[in-house]
Amino acid sequence: MTESAQQNAHLLGVLYVSSAAGPMPSGALAEILTVSRDRNQSDGVSGLLLYRSGNFMQYLEGPREAVVRTKARIYRDPRHGGIITVAELPTTARRFAGWSMGFANCDDPAIRAMDGFSRFLDLDFRGEAVAGAADYALRMLEHFRDKMR
């Protein structure tokens, strides 16, 4: 097995949703992105973060140990709560290779007008509404990735 194949054999993907603990002005979102992108690049973690009306949806992927550490740090962050892990999946290939942290503020009317924009983000993420929707959520994130290139 090649070194690359060995590394990919130990990849983990985590999809979660959460709600902001308070207002999230664009400056606070920019700070989260700046810090996250630097850490993720150092740790070999990639993914995508969506924000909509006080709710987050994030998919993280990378080496299992790095993703577990990143997930633990995120889950301790007091800027959000009501965290629901939608999916935690071993994977053999990255969905967001090269994206240290893709981001979109889905409150932006231009994003909401995009072909394929999903009302999934309008769900109440504090409830269990997304618990059975992991496949749908991952397909939505992949569609978003493909449209943003």
CATH of the domain at 139: 3.30.70.100
Q: Which domain holds residue 121?
A: 3-148
Pairing of strands 102-105, 46-52: parallel
Report the number of distinct structural domains present in the chain.
1
Report the percent of the chain where pLDDT is more than 70: 64
Between residues 75 and 109, the one the model is more confident about: 75
The residue with greater pLDDT, 26 or 103, is: 26
Instruction: Convert the pLDDT of each residue in 39-60 to its tens digit.
Output: 999 999 998 888 888 888 889 9
Cα 29 to the center of its chain, rounded Å: 14
User: Which segments of the chain does DSSP mark as H helices, in order?
Assistant: 3-8, 26-43, 64-76, 109-112, 134-148
Length of the chain: 149
Query: What are φ and ψ of residue 5, in 5° steps?
Result: -65, -40
pTM for the model: 0.71
